[in-house]
Structure 1
């Protein structure tokens, strides 16, 4: 790996771990491993975080984005200086909001409950007579399903059972090792997932953590990046990875990598696709999704910072009142002392005059 060192929240004062690596599969895998180890060294941080990788001409910029509420609890709240804590949190929010252009925050709010009601993307579990087209229902009938074994958080062994919605699969962009999917939501983004392969170990099942530690994955991803020209990727972990899972004890979902495109590269991508149905869906997905950094700022502000700022203001007001009272008492004492001194001086002068 390159000589660059990980910069963490202790150094930057931000809810990030950052690292730059050269564009080789081995270095990218090593950088991923080092960053995940940094997060795992503090178990509280593993509740929810996101790995983002931005591709430059000769390098890749890694950034682990922590849950901002967890960052506040682990790194800021322990500081007894509440004024300093509030200042750091507010600075992060203000800086982030200022640096993100409005065009990078999509106009749609994702409602996963509504998305899941779309029958066309939900797997049908009932048997059908494939020779009779009329017997098919409105649900999806995928041919790709991961049967790899996974372990849940409570120690049970179960089957991954992740299915690839057939109407979202982009065949022209998929490879022998990975499947490319459109997002269910109307977002300008693709998903890259390991293809279930029966004769490979555990059906070629990966979760996000094991995937990014694998240099073969990075080798395939770099080839796809050259071909599809996405500028950045992201992978979610912890609660953010399993938020759509129906099993609250899910340990980790089937690995899925988010591929991000700008407007120009998204349009050029359509030239590779032949399916009219997929192109129609791509035309509907012309805007980016909600900016998660802005969402993180809102959660930090609502769940921690507003109450902290209120408490800090009360502390400042109390301090100001105490200062005013102390100054007033000091002034009264000074006046009394000066008055006593004046009275004593007058009495001494009066005695001299009497003599």
Structure 2
């Protein structure tokens, strides 16, 4: 049975009368990369800060490697945090910044120098050790901040949107660096972001949050391809999943989706008891593909947004607008094209509750 590095048990937190965390429970196995994903204000940073001991919780329990740390000060929790703002000491060199946590623990100078050297080699920042933060780029500063966390060798690493201050190129480079470090170290990492690309590329487990509640916990594949509800379906994925409104009807061939305007398609994995229920049929952009003229569904191209290798294309299909991704230059605005809808990969949601039905 996998060893649990971190257990969050029914964490509740409010600021005055405003609930921020509404009974959040998450388990992180040893070596997992868990991403807390959600929009601003969903409670993900508050949860991370609670793990670190920076914010006291109202109720619940935080357990690290079988030991409750809920009432322990930050210094005794054996966690290390990487902040969005780097939080480096401007008057210290890179080597001094990285070694600072060890000096606070009264570690001998020779051991500090050795461990700082190891971390610098791991992060490939050895030539920077005598520089000060003002002499570094944003990406280099973030590496130093990561190095300061690494040198402590904690049980759990905490990352609070560490890439949000970097430009696009540095974000990609630093994201790859963090992924490499995780693979190399095998340490448990908890990472907060609102960026779904970061979540999909880094995580072994994604925790999708909204308004202080967990919406879904799963692998990147599960969260993207099998969203638990409408919020997850719409939040994860860019462009977002498009929803066709309709009703489930029962026929001789099983359950079908009917939009009430003459479009009826069979759907799989739905309990027959759901017949008659108002639903939303969700399709990702890649589930809408170009077809040979005269086949499939007729669609009008409303607009084309080039993104490089592909175009985001706004289509009107059966009176509704949907977004597809087509090869660059394959269609023009104002034209009529034939498309095939991959209904076998569609997600079905109850119109009232928003819960997934298939």
Range of TM-score over shorter length: under 0.3
The structure with the larger Rg is 1
TM-score of the pair, normalised by structure 1: 0.21
More helix as a share of residues: 1
Between Structure 1 and Structure 2, which shows a larger proportion of strand residues?
2
- Between 1 and 2, higher relative CO (CA 8 Å, sep ≥ 6) is seen in 1
TM value normalised by structure 2: 0.21
